[in-house]
């Protein structure tokens, strides 16, 4: 069975078994666009120096009017969020991916370097922007639904 036919058998909705109401209540007070942010991956990753960045590099995003940034950053880099005035940080209350998914469910957008959070958010069909170190040039898949990514990032069907 092809992977595309197998994929079509799965439901298209993402189901969360986590306390989304808790996050909904907390985020309800923010009547603005809510953005989850992850700026650093695992420091022991072989390509981490290329994929991770400092939170200070995203200071402009954090201070945008009409935007509330919610930190989804875990690990040692999460300390950086305490140095910036704007991001909300409840990551000490997140213990697993179900908790992370529950928080993501209540956000409008997730911006992340290439981490598991980016993949989780994308799997939930939540609008997700992945910060890549380089522009993608070409991605090929087998089968009738192949796509080619050109250097400007626009996806076009391959012949």
Each residue of 17-62: pLDDT tens digit?
Answer: 667 788 888 888 888 899 999 988 777 777 777 778 888 888 888 8
Query: Does residue 118 lie in a domain region?
Result: yes
Q: How many domains does the chain have?
A: 1
Residue 1 lies in a domain: no
Tell me how crowded residue 120 is: count the other CB atoms within 10 A of its CB: 19
> For residue 80, how far is the Cα from the chain centroid?
18
Query: 6 lies in a domain?
Result: no
Identify the CATH number of the domain in which residue 127 sits: 3.40.50.2000
Cα gap 85→87, rounded to integer Å = 6
Residue 38 inside a domain? The answer is yes
Q: For 24-70, what is the HEC assignment?
A: HHHHHCCCCEEEEEECCCCCCCCCHHHHCCCHHHHHHHHCCCCEEEE
pLDDT computed for residue 128 by the predictor: 93
In a domain, 149, yes or no: yes
pLDDT at 36: 93
List the domain range (segments joined by +) for residue 108: 14-157
Encode pLDDT of 99-126 as tens digits.
999 999 999 999 998 889 999 999 888 9
* Residue 9 covered by a domain: no
Determine, yes or no, domain membership for 5.
Answer: no
3, part of any domain:
no
Strand 109-113 and strand 33-38: the pairing is parallel
């Amino acid at each position: 069975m092809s992977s595309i036919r197998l994929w079509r058998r799965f439901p298209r909705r993402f189901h969360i078994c986590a306390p989304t109401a808790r996050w909904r209540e907390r985020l309800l007070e923010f009547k603005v666009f809510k953005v989850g942010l992850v700026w650093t991956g695992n420091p022991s990753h072989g390509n981490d120096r290329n994929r991770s960045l400092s939170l200070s590099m995203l200071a402009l995003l954090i201070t945008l009017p009409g935007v509330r940034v919610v930190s989804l950053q875990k690990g040692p880099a999460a300390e950086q969020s305490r140095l910036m005035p704007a991001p909300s940080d409840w990551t000490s209350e997140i213990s697993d991916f179900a908790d992370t998914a529950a928080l993501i469910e209540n956000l409008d957008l997730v911006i992340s370097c290439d981490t598991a959070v980016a993949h989780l958010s994308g799997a939930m069909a939540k609008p997700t922007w992945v910060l890549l170190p380089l522009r993608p040039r070409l991605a090929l898949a087998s089968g009738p639904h192949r796509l080619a990514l050109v250097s400007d990032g626009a996806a076009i069907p391959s012949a």
